[in-house]
């Protein structure tokens, strides 16, 4: 089932909608979770996760019918034997982005400490941080101003988590101050601006952006693998095409390092790509790789069509720009 969910549309088909996993932890602001789910579901496929404490504030009877709501009780209820789905892993694989709104002080502390004692924190612990995570904290003003909160926010920022800051207003407890969750409309607006990039990437097949220094260093580490076994290099490259940093780094190897190192290296990789039915983008990058030969390009245009015919059923997996 997970494999089917992750398959992207074939060429020529319309790109799929973004997949957003929304989560709520134990805060009074969870009363707005239903509205957030409805708003995001207008332009994305949505699945939801709620902690046991959050369920106290969520009216499941009025929850959007098209949004599956997963709870701690669902985590292992369907698991019977090795090979069965593990829910927190399936949710991580399915989602293009994770949004925790509200994020309580308790769940923030758990995430910062690496704890995973419920469905939500297991998803976070198993998350692929090349995909975006947004959190919208919600807590009492003094809890927000507590030194522990600053430390915990620093820890989650190091993971690459984007924080949608709370706002100042009259809180549910009666105090007035900073700590109220940002409005669902603001959270939705922040998320939709990111998913516009996701949709654009799925249409064009463009790999996600990564930091230049990460790309440079990773690409250097990948080069020896090519010279040891070009065919294995291409097979590994194809497997990693949905993983952001490796994907972009491999493209850097193809378009920059190999042409500089050796013209014959580019030709060898072109033949290996054709022989292993590599993904179309690999062949496309190879066809554009500059070199010093008089022809000016590597002649693999025919290889591209041959490779696509040799494995026409192979799905292309969409990537996500962060």
Rounded to 5 degrees, φ, ψ at 137 are: -65, 150
Rounded to 10 degrees, the C-alpha dihedral 317/218/271/6 comes to: -10
Which candidate in 56, 173, 176, 293 is catalytic? 173
Q: Counting Cβ atoms within 10 Å, is residue 93 exposed (0-12), middle (13-18) or buried (19+)?
A: middle
Q: Checking phi first, is residue 83 left (phi over 0); if not, alpha (psi -120 to 50) or beta?
A: left
Which candidate in 70, 88, 244, 291 is catalytic? 88
Q: How far is CA 285 from CA 150, 254, 278, 294, in A?
A: 45, 7, 11, 19
Closest CA to 119 of 107, 101, 130, 109: 107
SS percent in the chain: helix, strand, coil, step 5: 55, 10, 35
d(CA 283, CA 287): 6
116 is catalytic: no
CA dihedral for 231, 237, 238, 239, sign (positive or negative): positive
Q: How far is CA 318 from CA 11, 175, 292, in A?
A: 11, 46, 33
88 is catalytic: yes
Active site residues: 88, 173
């Amino acid at each position: 089932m997970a494999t089917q969910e992750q398959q992207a549309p074939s060429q020529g088909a319309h790109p799929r909608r973004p997949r957003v996993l929304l989560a709520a932890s134990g805060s009074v602001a969870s009363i707005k979770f239903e509205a957030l789910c409805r708003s995001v579901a207008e332009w994305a496929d949505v699945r939801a996760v709620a902690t046991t404490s959050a369920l106290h504030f969520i009216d499941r009877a009025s929850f959007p019918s098209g949004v599956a709501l997963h709870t701690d009780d669902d985590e292992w209820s369907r698991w019977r034997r090795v090979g069965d789905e593990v829910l927190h892993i399936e949710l991580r694989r399915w989602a293009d982005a994770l949004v925790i709104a509200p994020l309580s002080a308790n769940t923030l502390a758990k995430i910062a400490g690496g704890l995973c004692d419920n469905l939500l924190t297991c998803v976070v612990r198993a998350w692929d941080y090349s995909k975006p995570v947004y959190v919208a904290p919600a807590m009492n003003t003094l809890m927000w101003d507590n030194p522990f909160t600053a430390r915990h926010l620093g820890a989650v920022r190091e993971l690459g988590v984007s924080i949608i800051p709370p706002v100042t207003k009259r809180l549910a407890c009666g105090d007035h101050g900073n700590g109220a969750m940002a409005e669902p409309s603001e959270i939705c607006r922040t998320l939709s601006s990111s998913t516009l990039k996701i949709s654009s990437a799925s249409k064009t097949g463009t790999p996600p952006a990564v930091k230049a220094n990460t790309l440079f260093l990773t690409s250097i580490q990948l080069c020896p693998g090519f010279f040891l076994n070009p065919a294995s290099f291409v097979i590994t490259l194809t497997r990693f095409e949905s993983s952001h940093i490796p994907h972009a780094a491999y493209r850097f190897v193809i378009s920059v390092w190999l042409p500089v190192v050796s013209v014959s290296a580019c030709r060898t990789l072109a033949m290996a790509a054709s022989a292993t039915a590599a993904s179309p983008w690999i062949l496309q990058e190879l066809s554009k790789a500059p070199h010093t030969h008089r022809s000016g390009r590597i002649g693999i245009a025919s290889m591209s069509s041959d490779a696509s015919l040799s494995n026409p059923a192979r799905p292309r997996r969409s990537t996500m720009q962060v």
